[in-house]
Structure 1
Amino acid sequence: MATIYVEAPLPTPSSIAASMASSISSRKPSEIFKAQAQLYNHMYGMLDTMCLKWCIEMNIPNIIHNHGQPISLSKLVSTLQVPSTKFGNVQRLMHYLAHIGFFEIISNQQEEAYALTVVTELLVQGTDLCLSPMVEGYLNPTISGSYNHLKKWIYEEDLTLFDVTLGSDFWKFLNQNPENNRSFNAAMASDSKMINLVLKDYGVVFDGLESVVDVGGGNGTMENLSGDNNLTYVGGDMFTSVPKADAVVLKWILHDWTDEDCIKILEKCKEAITSDEKVGKVILMEIVMNEKKDDHQITQVKMQMDVNMACVNGKERNEEEWKKLFVEAGFKDYKISPLTELLSIIEIYP
């Protein structure tokens, strides 16, 4: 019995479009409108960022902090010295910021007032734990504006996003622009103070170490992690050599680089370790991707940071990806422990 094969015609653009149209038209109206709301939520999501920037530029966290109690809308408007015609606009902005968790609205019989939440407490300038420099640095229009060009970047082989938008890689741009470099260093220093908050509980990580090199340590904020006189911090060029020490610390460094560059850095760190494998080690403070274990919000932030790192040819890595780097750099073992909501502390043994 003969079998006859009939070749099906390839789909045309019009037939594909018709198929897609029929797919959406077959959805329930409630499903379609829910999708529309989700789409608009992300489309208007940039207002979250811009309202946050407005809040910091207007110094509102400090105004409420210095007021010593929840501040009424009229008192806030008076302090800001904005035109009376903008009273309602300030109220709208504050209401929205309260809705997304930046303020708490305190209602009374006379007039509503606004109190800080733990999020905006982190934006009060002049305190030990202030992340305003981090927010301001990232939302610098020169930097954040680059993300309007993701389409152009994705077609450029081997170029970073900033090569495309600023004419050089991010690090060269900072070296050539002192004000942006200052802003970046201030941002990293503010984040390091957050790390110092938890490192005091990880003293065992530094037990037995007489010398530690902080690689890529910016302006040295991490130097106060223990306050002990037996720790000495010195600088080094991580691509050529790292000063000898019992341990080498890299906080949020390797995620900036490709796998090949990370291996080179780790090899230099391994060469620098003077103690035996029972004491000497490399200590990383990095994100470890773990979608199965992390809750949805933490996973989303980690993924956002992974996209951000992709724009400088870096990446956030899961445990298997980290392990591959350690093995290829010649290390024998490693240990991962949770550090903060986002970061883990990774000890790598030669």
Structure 2
Amino acid sequence: MAGQANTIQVPTDAELLQAQADLWRHSFSYLTAMALRCAVKLGIPTAIHRLGGEEAAASLPNLMAALSLPASKQPFVRRLMRLLVAVGVFAADGVADERYRLTPLSRILVDGVAAADDHHHHVLQTPFVLTATSRQYVEAALGLDEWLRKDAPPAPAPVPSPFEDAHGAPLFDEATAAAIDPEFAAAADDALAAHDSLGIGAVLRECGDLLRGVASLTDCAGGDGATARAIAAAFPHIKCTVLDLPKVIDKAPVDDGVVNYVAGDLFHAVPPAHAVLLKLVLHFWSDDDCVKILSQCKKAIPSRKEGGKVIVIDILIEPSLGPAMLEAQLLMDMAMMVNTRGRQRDESEWRDLFFRAGFSDYKIAKKLGARAVFEVYP
């Protein structure tokens, strides 16, 4: 046995060459993220849009001029764009790959525009890109090996994330601005709002029955109320309430009679309603914390016979969606592990949370890309 431990099977020539290429791809994949960050900071998606990138491809020289970049850097911009075309951020026309169009991905990175029709809402995702590729996020990930070597604190103390270890404060916390950087804290909040607001239109279009018969709804951690306003617009009969921390509610729009804003903490009390919504909330929290949150939500709703339910919209790890979607879900799980105390979950793990919190049953109302819409019943 000892002899076997000191030997290793040598790959075939084909396997070795493929392994080397895979090693390059994984070791340098951070450069894809940094190329995307560069494109966002330069404003390339917006420039392509303004140059007609929806209907007529934008040439590289015109793009250079629109971005006010020196002509001497054109060969380097061409190489940057070649990578971003290869990974699907942009599309290219022509043999020379020097005329560029937007893709669905780069359309959500175009600033200063509105959706072309009334059925969709344009939610700019540049804050998400800039935060996900920030120095603070990268430094937290660089310390992952050291974090894993540390023993966890004695129970019931929570295990701090690598982000907390690196920066001395949790992400999305009152202490983030003071301990790290006010500008970063504000940017992270903007990124969270942008990320959480994307896709609510698809949920409302695909899950119209979800809110049928619901008279009132509390959106927990509902931020600026974008989701609640979208629900109120689609279902005017529903009385919508947004619950969030005081620092968030203080920045919310003035109450216009459409949405009621309540400052509070979902760990302690949730405003009563026919239904409670948790949209991309639970993946930020540990299992024990999720049970506490869900228990408060259960207290806020009537019985199942009276139509009470909790609506959970969150990532559902599902290998059957294919390798690209699974990779995206698992990368989000790593992002939660590095930067928060949360995680992504498969169906059995979601089921355990619901039953631990005292719910009697649940169903998956719809699967939408990486997310699932759960109806959870008291």
TM-score by length of 2: 0.82
The answer (yes or no) to whether the contact 2:172–2:188 under 8 Å persists in 1 is no
In structure 2, the partner of 1:162 is 163
Question: How big is each residue's C-alpha offset from its partner over 1:198-248, in whole Å with a ceiling of 9 and x where there is no partner?
Answer: 122223111222211111112222122221253221323111111111111
In structure 1, the partner of 2:325 is 298
Segments of 5+ residues of structure 2 without an aligned counterpart are: 114-121, 153-158, 244-263
SS at match of 1:125: coil
Select the residue among 188, 194, 208 that pairs with 1:190: 194
**Distance across 2 between alignment mates of 1:105 and 1:230:** 45
Question: How big is each residue's C-alpha offset from its partner over 1:62-83, in whole Å with a ceiling of 9 and x where there is no partner?
Answer: 1111112321111112222223
In structure 1, the partner of 2:6 is 18
* Pairing 1:174–2:179 present: no
Question: How big is each residue's C-alpha offset from its partner over 1:295-324, in whole Å with a ceiling of 9 and x where there is no partner?
Answer: 111111111111222222211111111111
Select the residue among 111, 134, 145 that pairs with 2:139: 145
Choose 1 or 2 for highest CA Rg: 1
Segments of 5+ residues of structure 1 without an aligned counterpart are: 1-9
**Distance across 1 between alignment mates of 2:374 and 2:222:** 17
In structure 2, the partner of 1:41 is 25
Pairs within 5 Å for 1:229-244: 230-235=238-243, 236-244=264-272
Q: CA deviation at 1:182?
A: 2.4
Aligned AA (2:130): E
Q: CA deviation at 1:256?
A: 1.1
Aligned AA (2:326): T
**Distance across 1 between alignment mates of 2:95 and 2:348:** 54
Aligned AA (1:32): L
Question: How big is each residue's C-alpha offset from its partner over 1:239-260, in whole Å with a ceiling of 9 and x where there is no partner?
Answer: 1111111111111111111111
**Distance across 1 between alignment mates of 2:162 and 2:286:** 14
* Pairing 1:103–2:105 present: no
**Distance across 2 between alignment mates of 1:197 and 1:144:** 32
Aligned AA (1:102): V
Select the residue among 98, 104, 113 that pairs with 1:118: 104
**Distance across 2 between alignment mates of 1:210 and 1:278:** 11
The answer (yes or no) to whether the contact 1:257–1:313 under 8 Å persists in 2 is yes
Select the residue among 329, 338, 344 that pairs with 1:316: 344
Identity across the alignment (%) = 31
Aligned AA (1:58): L
* Pairing 1:67–2:51 present: yes
Select the residue among 218, 221, 237 that pairs with 2:223: 218
**Structure 1 stretch displaced more, 296-305 or 129-138:** 129-138
The answer (yes or no) to whether the contact 1:326–1:348 under 8 Å persists in 2 is yes
* Pairing 1:248–2:276 present: yes
**Distance across 1 between alignment mates of 2:85 and 2:342:** 35
* Pairing 1:93–2:80 present: yes
Q: CA deviation at 1:16?
A: 5.9
The answer (yes or no) to whether the contact 1:250–1:284 under 8 Å persists in 2 is yes
**Structure 1 stretch displaced more, 89-98 or 270-279:** 270-279
SS at match of 1:285: strand
The answer (yes or no) to whether the contact 2:90–2:100 under 8 Å persists in 1 is yes
**Structure 1 stretch displaced more, 188-197 or 299-308:** 188-197
Question: How big is each residue's C-alpha offset from its partner over 1:310-344, in whole Å with a ceiling of 9 and x where there is no partner?
Answer: 22221111111111111111111101133421111
**Distance across 1 between alignment mates of 2:324 and 2:317:** 13
SS at match of 1:126: coil
The answer (yes or no) to whether the contact 2:128–2:190 under 8 Å persists in 1 is yes
Pairs within 5 Å for 1:327-342: 327-342=355-370
**Distance across 1 between alignment mates of 2:171 and 2:197:** 23
For the aligned residues, what is the CA RMSD?
2.0
**Distance across 1 between alignment mates of 2:188 and 2:223:** 9
In structure 1, the partner of 2:259 is none
**Distance across 2 between alignment mates of 1:254 and 1:222:** 16
